[in-house]
Amino acid sequence: MTEDGFHIELLGDHDRATFCSGVDALDRYFRERVTQDIRRRVSNCFVLLDAEKEVAGYYTFAAASIPLGELPESLAKRLPRYPSLPAGLIGRLAVDRDYQRQGLGALLVVDAVARAMRAEPAIYALVVDAKDDHAAAFYTRLGFRSFLSQPSRLFIPISEIAKRLCKSIFRGSEGQSTARDRITGRYRRGPTMSTAPRTLESAAVIILMTALIYAAG
């Protein structure tokens, strides 16, 4: 849990009625269909709860595979010639309108990376379906790349996203504070980031570090 009181857990008996991401299909799925998918074991769902235990975001997670031919040659040539590779599919991901653009969508992706790293069956990459250009821009910003034949389906190898996240968390990009500043609470965001969620970054560090320690055995 972060100091802001955010917490990610498996969907259980949470109130799903008031969640509103602004995308009707994602909101309706969460209200009406997600529990059926969980019951049938075709998907899991993780929810991000705020301090009042209201759902601030969710994502679904399921096993998937990537046909080797969908990867760029530069990646494929470094992999065994299996017809497909194991993946974790983020089928749906949404953040409540009240919480968008505060780093929570990225935090949900970090959580999926950590779960993929801890999974017992090996997972090579995360896969997502971007439902529109905004979603594609969000995932591209995090380093995802399109499948060769399906531009709206994107992937990122776990090793690559873990490395990117560690770099951005621990080095900070130019002009930003260091991770230590952020963790110790001296991190300042620009004036456009309304709620300065520095504790979310600390949460991302904890989630990832736990996964890295776990992966290292």
Using alpha carbons only, how large is the chain's radius of gyration in Å? 17
- Rule CB under 6 A: say whether 26 interacts with ligand COA: yes
- Per DSSP bridges, beta strands 44-49 and 84-95 are unpaired
What tokens were used for 184? Answer: 């110790």
Cα–Cα distance, 151 to 24 (Å, whole number): 23
Least distance in Å: CB of 112 to ligand COA?
12
What's the start-to-end Cα distance of the chain, in Å?
A: 24
* 62 vs 76, beta carbon nearer ligand COA: 62
Helix axes 158-170, 198-215, angle to 10 degrees: 130
- Rule CB under 6 A: say whether 203 interacts with ligand COA: no
Tokens 């970090």, located at residue:
110
Window of 3-11, 89-97, 115-123, 203-211 that interacts with ligand COA by CB under 6 A: 89-97
Out of 33, 101, 118, 188, which residue is the one contacting ligand COA (CB under 6 A)? 101
- Map the footprint of ligand COA across residues 102-161, applying CB under 6 A: 102-106, 130-131, 134-135, 137-138, 141
* 102 vs 116, beta carbon nearer ligand COA: 102
* 76 vs 145, beta carbon nearer ligand COA: 145
